[in-house]
Amino acid sequence: MSKITVISQRGKLVGVWLPPPEASDPNAPVSRPVGGPGQRVHDVEVGDVAVYRDRSKANELAKLVKKKLKLT
């Protein structure tokens, strides 16, 4: 299981962040999104994150996240 970060606002999905693949340098910086005013940040566990890295799977990931967080 892997964790992804999801941002929502007023019960709607705003964005999804997938952690980067393992870098060759373990000291490489990693950025994470931050919610703005009125937004909530959620950590959601999904199966294998590598499956969702392909843009063609974006709709599938959005549906999964919406269902888990009960968003519209």
Alpha-carbon distance of 44 to 20, in angstroms, equals 15
Q: Does residue 67 lie within any of the structural domains?
A: yes
Alpha-carbon distance of 9 to 33, in angstroms, equals 14
Q: Does residue 30 lie within any of the structural domains?
A: no
Q: In the predicted model, what is the mean pLDDT of the chain? A: 91
H and E: helices and strands count for the chain: 1, 3
Given a cut of 80, is residue 23 above it in pLDDT? no
> The pTM is what?
0.85
Q: Does residue 10 lie within any of the structural domains?
A: yes
Residue ranges making up the domain that contains 12: 1-18+38-72
Given a cut of 90, is residue 42 above it in pLDDT? yes
> Which is more confident, 59 or 31?
59
Q: What percent of the chain has pLDDT over 70?
A: 100
The tally of domains found in the chain comes to: 1
Q: Does residue 26 lie within any of the structural domains?
A: no
Q: How confident is the model at residue 28 (pLDDT cuts 50, 70, 90)?
A: confident
